[in-house]
Amino acid sequence: MKTPRCMVRIGMAVLVCLMVFLSTAGAESVLPLSTGQTLYVPAYSHIYSGNNEQPFLLTVTLSIRNIDPGRAILVTKADYYATQGKQLKSYVSAPVKLKPLESIRYVVPERDKSGGSGANFIVEWTSDGPVNPPIVESIMIGTQIQQGISFTSRGQPITPFSSQ
């Protein structure tokens, strides 16, 4: 008789633990709403391959995706920087409005190796109210002879927007 009662208690304890775990499993994936950010986005105009560190040239695409279904965002900066931190190009001359679920892209051609293996973008965006922060990433792709490579890097917030 003691064995079944013990099994019931163990079963109940396991069930409670499972319920607690499942109730918190997705909590960290909820992004806080924001009214703007400055993002650092890693990019690579080339990477090195082989023992002799031969440069493998890459096309870089900066993708900015407004993932908020109800509100627009304003992209105010998309600046491209070299490995040494020197600004090479500003892709946004006037603020660009992205409607809900709209995306925009900026391309650094494969022949442009000025950014180097430590290139990056600084992207700034704002909105007139709280929104889901956009997905901002760089996509690198290149081919040489019969070899191809592609990979992505996700933007990292470096400063939140401070309301004025």
Hunting for tokens 């190009």 — which residue is that? Answer: 89
**Full pLDDT tens readout for the chain, 164 residues:** 556 666 666 666 665 555 656 655 555 566 799 999 999 999 999 999 888 888 999 999 999 999 999 999 999 999 999 999 999 999 999 999 999 999 999 999 999 999 999 999 999 999 999 999 999 999 999 998 888 999 999 999 998 765 44
Residue 99 φ/ψ, nearest 5 degrees: -65, 165
Between CA 97 and CA 133 the distance in angstroms is 14
Query: In Å, what is the CA distance from 130 to each residue of 28, 35, 57, 154?
Result: 19, 5, 39, 21
What pLDDT shows up at residue 45?
94
